[in-house]
Amino acid sequence: MRELTYFVAVSLDGYIAGPGGEFDAFLAEGDHMAAIWEHYAGTAPTQLAEAAGLSVENGPFDTVVMGRNTYDVGLPYLPSPYQHLLQIVFTGSPDRPEGSEAVEFTDADPAATVRALKEGDGGGIWLCGGGALAAQLIDEIDRLALKVNPVTLGGGVPLFGSAGYAPRRWSPTSTQAFASGVIFAEYSRG
């Protein structure tokens, strides 16, 4: 069975970006980078990985799902950011940027879409973000893979958007602490 993994960087106070989409407070250098890449190859945009000499082969995912706000972060330079994956972007907008032909845009229900993907053959499915999409997919997430950065933001885009109060239990499967201060924490549902 294919699994949906929410692999994401998050602050100590639970934000995945600042209120204006800021992400420069998250550490882009340090010993956590190579270690996490070893297990999560393919989670950088294709062009950026190539420029950094990183192989996108043999990663855990063959599909990435994201909300339109997350997709838009890469524009105009990366209209097809993860060319090595099947890319699905949820949006109600008809706007299709030039160069995005390989991207599947859809206004279908995210949970139903993910359930259909899981019933098919293939590798892992990466929930890239953002918080609004994650809130709608929370009951479809099989694994959380959190790059917990040693920073508080004080406000911004919550990990699960505006999902209401509803405690869900997650089982820790792995925790790695890095000299950079990043803690990589993985959980499975239940």
Ligand X SMILES: NC(=O)c1ccc[n+]([C@@H]2O[C@H](COP(=O)([O-])OP(=O)(O)OC[C@H]3O[C@@H](n4cnc5c(N)ncnc54)[C@H](OP(=O)(O)O)[C@@H]3O)[C@@H](O)[C@H]2O)c1
Of the candidate spans 43-51, 57-65, 122-130, 175-183, the one that interacts with ligand X by CB under 6 A turns out to be 122-130
Sorted by sequence, the CB contacts under 8 Å of residue 165 that are 6+ apart come out as none
Residue 127 engages ligand X in binding (rule: CB under 6 A): no
Nearer to ligand X, 22 or 31 (CB): 22
With CA atoms as reference, report the closest residue to 128 among 178, 190, 72.
72
Binding-residue total with ligand X (CB under 6 A): 27
* Residue from 13, 31, 107, 139 binding ligand X (CB under 6 A): 107
Tokens of 189: 């549902």
29, 34, 37, 41 alpha-carbon torsion, rounded to 10°: 110
Residue 45 engages ligand X in binding (rule: CB under 6 A): no
Nearer to ligand X, 44 or 132 (CB): 132
Site string (147-176) toward ligand X, x via CB under 6 A: ----------x---x---------------
Name the pairing type of β-strands 4-10 and 143-148: parallel
Number of H helices, E strands in the chain: 5, 10
Residue 90 engages ligand X in binding (rule: CB under 6 A): yes
Residue 144 engages ligand X in binding (rule: CB under 6 A): no
Nearer to ligand X, 114 or 121 (CB): 114
Residue in this structure with the two tokens 């008809």, named with its chain if needed = 94
CA dist 93 → 56, 83, 96, 147, 157 (Å): 30, 21, 8, 30, 21
Interface residue list for ligand X (CB under 6 A): 8-9, 16-17, 21, 23, 66-70, 73, 90-93, 107, 110, 128-133, 136, 157, 161
